[in-house]
Amino acid sequence: MGINNSTFIGMSTPYFPVTVITGVCRSGKTLLGNMLATCSNVEYADEPYTGMLLPMLSQTGKVEIEFAREWFAVYLCELFNDLLLLRRANFRPNDLSSIWTKKPPYEIFERLIKINTRTEVKEYAKKNGSALVVTLSECTPFIKFILEALPDAKIVHVVRNGYDVALDVEVKKWVSNEQLLSPTNAVLHTPFQFSGSTWFLPWWVNDGEEHYFLSLSEYERSLYYWCSLMEKSLEAFRKCKCGEILVRYEDLVAAPQQEFYRVSKCLSLVPGTLSSMKIAEVRSNNKSSIPVTKIDNEIKKQVQLINAKVGFI
């Protein structure tokens, strides 16, 4: 038959519940994910690169979409196996992503000693009702792809005031001239000639708006990033009508216990023994939502419109 004729790459239907947390970067997805990771029998992965890349690639035509959907589902199955076997666990006690902040010691040692094979993983997962929670940044515009690959998945959309997201993005220098001329972030880029140089524009810059985007200040580019992804995301949700769970970052930090229990209940997850400790670590962010800077009027209008759609006044 040969490899060129192969179209199936393995078991593509997860035997465990899957929750996908999505949204733009710096919106609070990881904060929520780390909280949900403390729930009993939850396996958690924060921004696995392959999981984020496949939905994007499926839209480019570089990967056949049906094959990409199957690959995506199979990848999550393999990821789940590795997580439950603790092959991806961070055991460094002082790291924020440490397994010790998410699982009690008795469960960690039980897995290390008693679970060794795929069969034992599956038996353990079914016996304990294990579930996968995964954060996928910037993938909300491709929610149709995700739900076609995982029809039973639950979707959590985390949003944050656009002005505050932009402040964080600007600090990270993700849309600085240096980053756009010589990218270090592993995201999809398109080469673009401008002012005698080759710029590498992220995939979320709309066709025909390249010159406009590059003419903006770094903070305005950061706002453009938020506007572009939020507009694409809200349109994707409008079309698929998947009943997503909306979480506002501001609500999460203002009332972490209330929001944590609301979301975990919606996902049928049971808070674990470390949940109260993780909730207590959440601190309110007092960052101003109105930066002292001149903002392009068109972008300002877009921010105000989108903020209103997701409940920000």
In Å, what is the CA distance from 112 to each residue of 62, 117, 284? 40, 11, 36
Amino acid making up residue 123:
E
Q: Are strands 189-194 and 131-137 parallel, antiparallel or unpaired?
A: unpaired
pLDDT at 273: 93
The confidence score (pLDDT) of residue 186 equals: 77
The beta strands (E) that lie in the chain are given as 18-23, 42-46, 131-137, 154-159, 189-194, 197-202, 245-248
Give 151-168 pLDDT, tens digit per residue.
Answer: 999 999 999 999 999 999
Residue range 22-50: average pLDDT? 96
Cβ–Cβ under 8 Å, residues 253 and 13: no
Q: What is the pLDDT of residue 2?
A: 47
pLDDT at 285: 60
Q: Given this model, what pLDDT does residue 3 score?
A: 46
Residue 113: CB partners within 8 Å, gap ≥ 6?
Answer: none
Q: Spell out the SS3 assignment of 99-165.
A: HHHCCCHHHHHHHHHHCCCHHHHHHHHHHHCCEEEEEEECCHHHHHHHHHHCCCCEEEEEECCHHHH
Contact 249, 156 (CB under 8 A): no
Give the model's pLDDT for residue 187: 83
CA angle at residue 137 from 256 to 83, to 5 degrees? 80
Strand, helix or coil at 181? helix
pLDDT for 60 equals 86
pTM of the predicted model over 0.85:
yes
DSSP H/E element including 33 = helix 29-36
Domain boundaries, the chain: 1-160+244-282, 162-242+288-313
Amino acid (one-letter) located at 30:
T
Nearest 5°: phi and psi at 243?
70, 40
Percent of the chain past pLDDT 90, that is, above it, reads 84
Is the distance from CB of 68 to CB of 56 less than 8 angstroms? no
